[in-house]
Amino acid sequence: MQTLGRILPWLIVIAAIVPFAVNGDFTFHVAILIGIQALLALSIHLTLRVGQLSLAQAGFMGIGAYASALFTRDAGIPFLVGLACAAAIPALLAGLLGGIILRVRGVQFALLTFMLGEAIVLLFVEFVIPFGGNNGVMGIPPIALFGIPLDSRQQIYAFVILVLAVVYFASRTLLRGNPGIALRGIAGNEALAQSLGTDSLGWRRVVFAASAGIAGISGSLYAHYLGYISPEAFNITTTINALVMNVVGGTALLVGPLIGAILLVPLPELFRSAVLYQQLLYGLSLLLLVLFLPQGLGSILRRPRT
Amino acid sequence: MTSPQPQLVLENVSCHFGGIRAVNGVDLQLDTNDITGLVGPNGAGKTTLFNLITATIRAKSGRILFAGRNITGLTPDAVARLGLVRSFQSPMTLPGVTVREHLRQAALFQAIGRPSFLLRRRRIAAAEAQARRTADAVLDFARLAHVADEPADQLAYGVQKILGVAMAVAAGPRLLLADEPAAGLNGAETAEMERLLRAIHEELSIGVLVIEHDLPMVMRLCSHVIALAQGTVIADGRPHEVRGSRAFIEAYLGSEADAA
């Protein structure tokens, strides 16, 4: 826990300074994408904390993206309200479905959520009205606060970082305080925690709903930043990438998904010239990482306990 | 003794695993003023009965009532919050957590067990202070103060089992269900466990239902004994009555009793 406190200020400083120091529109573009992907990775991280890997997170991200995009574009709802809907709708859906599907454990749960995610994407493809089918949704209004659109990437970046910080600290509060005791009890010894009065299913539902809400927020930011969304952006590949960020950064630390996003999101952009070898290098480095640093890069930062 | 007692009542409770009738039409009543012993040969259905009472498994038929309330079909945590708390046959701990923290958390789960506590945060400060006091009190009560700050999973087997019962006490039960608390313990540890169970009953006025193979200990400790064999109750009454009953002797010694 002390480690988090030690690295976090540095991460914030780096996040605040680097894009401005390099000062190019492209740097801000990548930084915004890092923020959006970090949110999705964080949402997967929460499901891992209760020992249930959800592969539906990109689907929830899609629900957030479509909800926010359609509400603001077609119904003229302000962006911030759209963002709130983008969080609330997937959270509600996950909370309701969670009562049933969270009873399934292990690989079966991962497969079930994989199918859920794919089913959500299929809805976007098949229902041309209102989702636009394979063409997706275009002309999504930009991020605007109280009617004032954020027209530069610097401003959007600042907003994305703010949202990420709020979500991060909310997650940290959830994992640290009294809820954290219940969640660690469930993850550490579920039968014992239950025998002492912990509502295991209830807590896992709350975490699943929160994770879906965070994924929805990520989707909303994505939609309003790019101005265009299509179904394939929310398929299983997106979820797997976010999962890889967790593995690379470390699944035991809340900063793990952030570290993973910072490292992995820029990679395709940096290796554009070596596109032929990109996947190969990516796979090799992942293999080496899992072999030599199975706890993720975050584990380097964690000092051994005395 | 005539005041309304929270009583545990099982009415015709059955549970089958495939074709095996693990628990078959069990009727029983017990008073939370007693230490009740649940005895019987291996495979008699004792632990299954515990699992049914604490809702870890569902009964195929029958009703379970606690303090007049039907608790059939509740979840294990809901049953625990009503005051039916169990300890486990093999020690259960949370990895890397100290003994004191185990007891504090056990005392806290009553308040924070359900996510809805997030909506009633004002009461939490009081519950936290209470949990700390409970943890300290139970540390002394169960004589665990000397290992209070050690990680529980590093402790000796016997101490972990004492901790298991102590956690159940910290959770504030009305009836504590102890599943073979003395199994695997040496003489001194068994004596300490016996002292603890007696103290839970006499000093804290908590009812105890104990599964135990150590018959002499059951005879010393319990005022009420229920004997199970092949999933049915074969004897139910005062300890000496049960030990003397023909069905009980046959269940333990088989046909040799007839030959004798």
Contact B4, B28 (CB under 8 A): no
Best of B53, B105, B132 to disrupt the A interface (most A CBs within 10 Å) is B105
Q: How far apart are CA A174 and CA A47, in angstroms?
A: 13
Residues of B in Cβ contact (< 8 Å) with A197: 77, 80-81, 85, 109-110, 113, 171
Q: How far apart are CA A233 and CA B48, in angstroms?
A: 50
**pLDDT (tens digit per residue) in B99-124:** 999 999 999 998 889 998 888 777 88
Question: Nearest C-alpha of chain A: how many angstroms from B148?
Answer: 18
Q: Strands (DSSP E) along chain B, which ranges?
A: 7-17, 20-31, 35-39, 61-66, 69-70, 84-87, 175-179, 207-211, 224-229, 232-237
Q: Which residues of chain B have pLDDT under 70?
A: 1-6, 254-260
Q: Which residues pair with B64 in a beta bridge?
A: B10
DSSP secondary structure code for residue B151 in this structure: B
Q: Which residues of chain A have pLDDT under 70?
A: 1-9, 11-13, 16-23, 270-272, 302-306
Q: How far apart are CA B150 and CA B100, in angstroms?
A: 8
Instruction: Say yes or no for a CB contact (<8 Å) between B128 and A188.
Output: no
Contact A248, A297 (CB under 8 A): yes
For chain A, give the longest Cα–Cα distance: 60
Residues of B in Cβ contact (< 8 Å) with A182: 109, 112-113, 115
Contact B55, B75 (CB under 8 A): yes
A→B interface, C-beta within 8 Å: 178-179, 181-182, 184-185, 188-189, 191-203, 205-206
* A-B contacts at Cβ under 8 angstroms: 83
* Encoded tokens for A112: 């079930």
| B11 CB within 8 Å of a chain A CB | no
**pLDDT (tens digit per residue) in A54-79:** 999 999 999 999 999 999 999 999 99
ipTM of the complex, rounded to two decimals: 0.90
Q: Is B33 helix (H, G, I), strand (E, B) or coil?
A: coil
* Encoded tokens for B92: 């259960």
Q: Is A206 helix (H, G, I), strand (E, B) or coil?
A: helix
Question: Nearest C-alpha of chain A: how many angstroms from B175?
Answer: 13
| B161 CB within 8 Å of a chain A CB | no
Residue corresponding to tokens 């150590």: B214
Q: How far apart are CA B30 and CA B65, in angstroms?
A: 11
| B89 CB within 8 Å of a chain A CB | no
Contact A215, A58 (CB under 8 A): yes
Is residue A263 classed exposed, middle or buried when 0-12, 13-18 and 19+ CB atoms within 10 A define those classes?
A: middle
What integer pLDDT is reported at residue B257 of this predicted model?
Answer: 44
Q: How far apart are CA B60 and CA A254, in angstroms?
A: 43
Evaluate whether residue A136 is within a structural domain: yes
Long-range contacts, B60-63 (Cβ 8 Å, 24+) = B60/B14, B60/B15, B60/B16, B61/B12, B61/B13, B61/B14, B62/B10, B62/B11, B62/B12, B62/B13, B62/B14, B62/B25, B62/B26, B63/B9, B63/B10, B63/B11, B63/B12, B63/B13
Q: How far apart are CA B198 and CA B175, in angstroms?
A: 13
Q: State the first-to-last Cα distance of chain B, in angstroms, to the nearest integer.
A: 42
Residues of A in Cβ contact (< 8 Å) with B76: 194-195
Any residues with CB less than 8 A from the CB of B165 and at least 6 apart, and which? B87, B142, B176, B178, B181, B193, B196, B197, B200
- Which DSSP string do the residues of B153-183 spell out, in sequence order? GGS-HHHHHHHHHHHHHHT--SEEEEESTTT
What integer pLDDT is reported at residue A268 of this predicted model?
Answer: 74
Evaluate whether residue A306 is within a structural domain: no
| B151 CB within 8 Å of a chain A CB | no
DSSP secondary structure code for residue B5 in this structure: P
What integer pLDDT is reported at residue A292 of this predicted model?
Answer: 85
Q: State the first-to-last Cα distance of chain A, in angstroms, to the nearest integer.
A: 14
Q: How many CA atoms lie within 13 A of A211 on its CB side?
A: 30
Question: Nearest C-alpha of chain A: how many angstroms from B86?
Answer: 6
Residue corresponding to tokens 């005791």: A181
Evaluate whether residue A288 is within a structural domain: yes
The CATH number given to whatever domain includes residue A24 is: 1.10.3470
Residue corresponding to tokens 């740097």: A27
Q: Which amino acid is at B225?
A: V
Evaluate whether residue A135 is within a structural domain: yes
Best of B47, B53, B109, B153 to disrupt the A interface (most A CBs within 10 Å) is B109
DSSP secondary structure code for residue A141 in this structure: P
Which range of residues forms the domain containing residue A97? 2-301
In total, how many domains does chain A have? 1
Q: Which amino acid is at A230?
A: S
